[in-house]
Structure 1
Amino acid sequence: MFDTLVRKYNSWQKYRQTYYELSRLSNRELSDLGIGRGDIDFIARTHR
């Protein structure tokens, strides 16, 4: 059970970090990567 909590916490941290980093990019930078601002949540969730 403790392992599950640790995994969930680590997964949440990765989501948060990815979301934060992508959110800081400008629309131009996101466009260069082929990402729309509305895609950030989806990408952060699938990255973890």
Structure 2
Amino acid sequence: MTYQTQTQFAGASFAARFSAFRAEIAQKIANRKVYAATINELEALSNRELADLGLGRSEIKRVALEAAYGK
């Protein structure tokens, strides 16, 4: 008696998954650059300039997270 086995792979091909992985890494790098730039720019401001924006020094990281990641 003979048997026939058919193997199918569900989902995307390796090339598609690799491309998605590269795009995800590129997005993470871009987000990190926005975060770092926002931190640097806000830390360069004086306390008075931050107060004019309605911010304190303790809020710089939160604002940078919102700018980069939307959180």
Q: CA RMSD in A?
A: 0.3
Count of matched residue pairs: 48
One of 27, 44, 48 as aligned partner of 1:7: 27
Larger Rg: 2
Higher helix share: 1
| 1:1-48 CA-partner distances (Å, limit 9, x unpaired) | 000000000000000000000000000000011000000000001101
2:62 matched residue in structure 1? 42
Instruction: State the one-letter code of the partner of 2:44.
Output: R
TM-score, normalising length from structure 2?
0.67
> Gaps (5+ residues) in structure 1?
none
Q: Which has the higher contact order (CA 8 A, sep 6+)?
A: 1
Distance in 2 between residues matched to 1:5 and 1:33, nearest whole Å: 33
TM-score, normalising length from structure 1?
0.98
Q: Which runs of 4 or more aligned residues in structure 1 lie more than 3 Å from their structure 2 counterparts after TM superposition? A: none
DSSP 3-state at the match of 1:34: coil
Aligned-pair identity (%): 38
